[in-house]
Homo-oligomer: A and B are copies of this chain.
Amino acid sequence: MTYCLGILLPEGLVLASDSRTNAGVDQIAIVRKLATFKESGDRMIALLSAGNLATTQAVVTLLRQAIGNGPERDLMAAKTLFDAATIVSDTYRSVLARDQEAVRPYGDATGSFLIGGQIKGERQRLFQMYPAGNFVEATPRTQFLQIGEAKYGKPILDRALDFDSSIGHSAKLALLSFDATIRSNLSVAPPIDLLCYKKDSFSTDGLRKYSGNDQAWESIREAYSAGLMNVLDNIPNPETGVD
């Protein structure tokens, strides 16, 4: 499994992925699931992936190989992030066309993706691509998108994320959303790659890796846990009828 999260904000984007990949609980590894593509001053495109690792790695590799080799599959030539998402989809479908039948006896060859970023002339945008290769876009009403193990980390976002949240506040919620997921699902694990993207920066300066024992992340987790316990202790218990 995997957990990837993308948040669309007025100020920019917050994108995050875990690093666990597994084929059964006895075969696990650490991989990076957040790939960035940029051209100085012109665009920043991040691709976060879940699902079959051979498929998603092939997609990223083919996208890198396609740069400068004709506009059809070149993310650097895309005029809009919608067009970039279409290129990811085309590349993904070509990988599936090659591998899906051969993989079927062993499992599922499909993947899913978040595509977030900005191309000059547009605002920042965020897309979620389904295993079929079609995709939807985040909006102020649907400001965060998740792929992989999405459920454990959703309640805190539903409660505490607003469309006018700052990048810093959203990054904090993202780290807590990953903490909730990691506590409940063995197949999601650090390090967390977290990219805070500021609009019009066309930069990946806000990319940071949080290891499991990262001090900043740990202090957020601990403050949250302690604060939550305190809140719960201060809420009166309901009538149980058996006191």
Contacts and interface: CB of A to CB of B under 8 A. Distances in A.
A169 B217 contact: no
A87 interface: no
Size band of the A side of the interface? Answer: 35 or more
Given A155-B152, A183-B159, A171 B224 contact: no
A237 B172 contact: yes
Nearest to A240: B196
Interface string A113-140: 0000000000000000000000000000
Contact of A184 (B154, B197, B238, B242): B154
Interface stretch (A35-43, A96-104, A203-211): A203-211
| This protein's copies in its complex | 2
Interface string A144-159: 0000000111111011
A234 interface: yes
B217 A224 contact: no
Nearest to A201: B242
A5 interface: no
A239 B194 CA distance: 11
Contact of A183 (B155, B228, B241): B155
Most interface-central of A175, A203, A224 (chain B CB within 10 A): A224
Interface of A: 12, 151-156, 158-160, 166-169, 171-173, 175-176, 180, 183-184, 194, 196-198, 201, 203, 205-208, 216-217, 220, 223-225, 227-232, 234-243
